[in-house]
Amino acid sequence: MKTLSMFCALLLAGLCPWAAQASPGPGVDPLFDTISALDTEVFAAFNACGDPAQLDKHAGFFSPDVEFYHDTGGVTWTRDAMLANTRQHVCGHFRRELIPGTLEVFPVKDFGAIARGSHRFCPSDSDRCEGMADFTIVWQQKDGHWMITRVLSYAHRATP
């Protein structure tokens, strides 16, 4: 038990070099700024996906073999399957808004980053937001290009 307490103390103190730490935030960390900007871009296209050009732009952020895990919708294993769901269930129905202050970004050595946060969903024909969820997105940087390889969208619930 003493070893576990010591381990936890070291982890909390940030003395373990392998302990995951989120980027410090906007304007302080270039990785946070990059992922935050990408999040804005990918979901601006998502929110306008009724326009085929915007749906294509949205698709361009995802790896062809993206895995998308949705707690109420199931799993899709490809970009094409994910886009079919987006086309059917999202476009013209609702928009996504990041909840300010919830985005966290974690670097992944020699790969990219993990983004985590919360977002709300608002019907397209309303200013009210009725639902929210948490998300985790895995971004890969390859040849100077960022691409989403995994998405987890979970804890869907009514907005309080």
Q: What are phi and psi of 109, to 5 degrees?
A: -50, 130
In this predicted structure, what is the pLDDT of residue 12? 38
Average pLDDT over residues 22-46: 89
**Mean pLDDT calculated for residue range 127-144:** 95
Q: Tell me which architecture the domain covering 26-158 has in CATH.
A: Roll (3.10)
Distance set, CA 159 to CA 76, 121, 156 (Å): 26, 9, 9
Its sign, for the CA torsion 119, 151, 30, 38, is: negative
